[in-house]
Structure 1
Amino acid sequence: MSRARFKSSDKACKTVFTVTSGTVFHARKLSFKKMVMAIWLSVNSVKDKAALQLSREIGVQFKTAWVMLVKRREAIAWRREDMVLEGEVEIDGKYACGHIRPENKVEDRTDRRLKKFQNMKRLCALALRERGLGGQTFTRVIRDEDGDAASAAVGDHVSRDAAVIGDEHGSDNDLAGLNKLNRVNHSKAYQTEDGTNTNQVESFFSRVQRAYIGIHHRFSLKYFDWYVAELAWRKDSREWGNDRQTFNVLRTALARPTSRFLCGYWQGNKPPDLIRKGDAAV
């Protein structure tokens, strides 16, 4: 048919469709050339891509570039569902978002490390990082770094034969009943005498911090989980070439069904909160 559309030859069907029907890019208006350009430019950025910059580079509105990037992040985040980490796995959490500006006078300032003074807009990105070449990174955004969330993540996405490496945080105490557990006390040393450390997961959190400060300047709480999941993919694919990264994202996006959260976003369709506590969304 005209405009690159197709019609089913089944007499009982006669459905009209395109090559992007039923995929993440369903109901697109961008040309294929600009879509592929946008994917290539985004994966070419080490610390993620700002929608405003992408809109200028490919000549589209900010809203068009933003939705496309978020759709891509949602598709990439699905890779975590069947992820099982092997070997040695490092675990840690990082709080982000919700910055509180300190008071001017010292006597008016509070210790924001105390729970009663914490900003409820700050969320914790829990990460499990598999050591070794080609290691994967599993992420989950939770309200607080607690034992239930850590146990749920390790129980669902870490092999029982794997060794888990954590720090002195109390949320890791319950992991000893699931896997072999090694720990390092960061208040005393970053690495123990026998070489136990969590440097690789800390390296991933450094990437998250650089994306926060240098690219986005803020993370929306509603989409924070997808941002972190994409940064984990960037960490895992950092040694790939641009062509492999581009085709991997394109293949992942076209293999996922139409987003029920983002298709028609600017017409009022909004996703639910993506914050997780333990194993249940809140």
Structure 2
Amino acid sequence: MFNEFKSYSQFLDYFKDEQICVKYLEYHLWGDTPSCPHCGCTNAYKTNRGYKCSDKHCHKKFTVTSGTIYRHTKVSLRTWLSAMYLTTSFKKGISSLQLAKMIGVSDKTAWFMLRKIRNMFMVMTHDKLTSHVQADETFVGGKNKNRHADKKYKGVQGRAAKDKVPVLGLVTNEGTVRTFVVKDTEANTLQKIVKENVEEGATFVSDAYKSYIGLNKHYNHIRVKHNENGDYKFAVTNTYNTNRMEGFWTWVKRGYMGTHHYMSRKHLQAYCDEISFRYNTRKLSDKERLEQSIKLSYQGQITYRDIAA
């Protein structure tokens, strides 16, 4: 139904006016049947400004932007789709300053748009990961030696959440990853998340960190010990390793150092959700990844006051 576009210039050529953007959203959010965002009724009739639900208990007016992140926006849909395309197609992400320049909005507007887009990628499912799952943690933050003298921390070598933020990652053999920003890496914290997200009885692979001890009661727990040099590449015990999870952390670190340069503790989960979405859809084309993100538009609603609070 819609033309292919394989570059940003082709994207701009195709979405040349708002009407095309509206039709594109309607197709990917509703298919051929408009759905009322208030009651879910699929029997609606068209009006001069959108649609109206025919259910007698609802009977509300709506458009394709109702109930989505585009609701009540003053930014054009063409600009929104451009922001989503750039955010999902750049492997290391895009900063709000760069996005503002490319789509022609203020820095504050670009930051808010990016934050709403990242909010779409939150894992909303309660389905548990099954079969074979790898786990690992990382600490996100700048190097202590690069900080100003009055901002340096003492005694933060190794695992220290004082100057960095710990993040737990879980990934399946199929390449589906989930990330969780945590307050610490103690056993109670990590094991609670693992039990909530991994099906009992699955093969669970982790490093030799002590906080994972005891999970063998619920899983086929394989503990991998890194070599003496700490080289993660050769962290192999028989056929089990944590290399896939280690590979994902390189995506996070590249986004941190190469694009954003700083991720606050408050918004770090949103950054991780964005990177997780790109990783989970890495085998799709940029166009297919955009289509996948559009389908998540209903779960990204958040206000500026909520973000800045």
Per the normalisation by structure 1, the TM-score is: 0.81
Q: Which residue of 1 aligns with 2:307?
A: 270
Whether 1:172 aligns to 2:217 is no
Q: Which residue of 2 aligns with 1:113?
A: 157
Q: Any unmatched runs of 5+ in structure 1?
A: 273-282
Q: What's the offset of the Cα at 1:25?
A: 2.1
Contact residue 7 and residue 15 of structure 1 kept, 8 A: yes
Whether 1:197 aligns to 2:241 is yes
Match runs of 1:142-157 below 5 Å: 142-157=182-197
Q: Which residue of 2 aligns with 1:275?
A: none
Whether 1:128 aligns to 2:194 is no
Assess, with a 3 A threshold, how the Cα gap between structure 1 residues 88 and 217 changes in structure 2: closer, same or farther.
same
Q: Which residue of 2 aligns with 1:280?
A: none
Contact residue 147 and residue 170 of structure 1 kept, 8 A: yes
Aligned partners of 1:54 and 1:104: how far apart in 2? 29
Q: What's the offset of the Cα at 1:178?
A: 1.6
Q: What's the offset of the Cα at 1:6?
A: 5.4
Q: What's the offset of the Cα at 1:85?
A: 1.2
Aligned partners of 2:241 and 2:73: how far apart in 1? 46
Aligned partners of 1:175 and 1:67: how far apart in 2? 40
Aligned partners of 2:167 and 2:227: how far apart in 1? 21
Contact residue 94 and residue 205 of structure 1 kept, 8 A: yes
Contact residue 121 and residue 221 of structure 1 kept, 8 A: no
Assess, with a 3 A threshold, how the Cα gap between structure 1 residues 103 and 200 changes in structure 2: closer, same or farther.
closer
Q: What's the offset of the Cα at 1:103?
A: 8.7
Q: Which residue of 2 aligns with 1:247?
A: 291
RMSD over aligned CA atoms reads 2.8
Give per-residue Cα distances to partners, 1:220-247, cap 9 Å, x unaligned.
2111011111211111111111111001
Q: What's the offset of the Cα at 1:99?
A: 4.6
**Which of 243, 246, 252 in structure 2 is aligned with 1:208?**
252
Letter in 1 for 2:173: R
> Aligned to 1:222, what secondary structure does the other structure show?
coil
Q: Which residue of 2 aligns with 1:279?
A: none
Aligned pair count reads: 257
Contact residue 224 and residue 237 of structure 2 kept, 8 A: no
> Aligned to 1:56, what secondary structure does the other structure show?
helix
Assess, with a 3 A threshold, how the Cα gap between structure 1 residues 110 and 37 changes in structure 2: closer, same or farther.
closer
Aligned partners of 1:43 and 1:10: how far apart in 2? 37
Letter in 1 for 2:183: R
> Identity over aligned residues, as a percent?
26
Q: What's the offset of the Cα at 1:84?
A: 1.7
Letter in 2 for 1:26: R
**Which of 82, 106, 110 in structure 2 is aligned with 1:65?**
110
Q: What's the offset of the Cα at 1:119?
A: 5.7
Match runs of 1:37-48 below 5 Å: 37-48=82-93
Give per-residue Cα distances to partners, 1:89-111, cap 9 Å, x unaligned.
11010011265347999xx9944
Letter in 1 for 2:219: N
Aligned partners of 1:104 and 1:52: how far apart in 2? 24
Letter in 2 for 1:34: T
Match runs of 1:224-235 below 5 Å: 224-235=268-279
Aligned partners of 1:185 and 1:28: how far apart in 2? 51
Aligned partners of 2:195 and 2:280: how far apart in 1? 21
Q: Any unmatched runs of 5+ in structure 2?
A: 1-46
Q: Which residue of 2 aligns with 1:222?
A: 266
Aligned partners of 2:109 and 2:148: how far apart in 1? 41
Letter in 1 for 2:162: M
Letter in 2 for 1:252: L
> Aligned to 2:138, what secondary structure does the other structure show?
strand
> Aligned to 2:122, what secondary structure does the other structure show?
helix
Give per-residue Cα distances to partners, 1:97-138, cap 9 Å, x unaligned.
265347999xx99442277xx563521110001013xx3111
Per the normalisation by structure 2, the TM-score is: 0.74
Q: What's the offset of the Cα at 1:19?
A: 2.1
**Which of 208, 223, 226 in structure 2 is aligned with 1:183?**
223
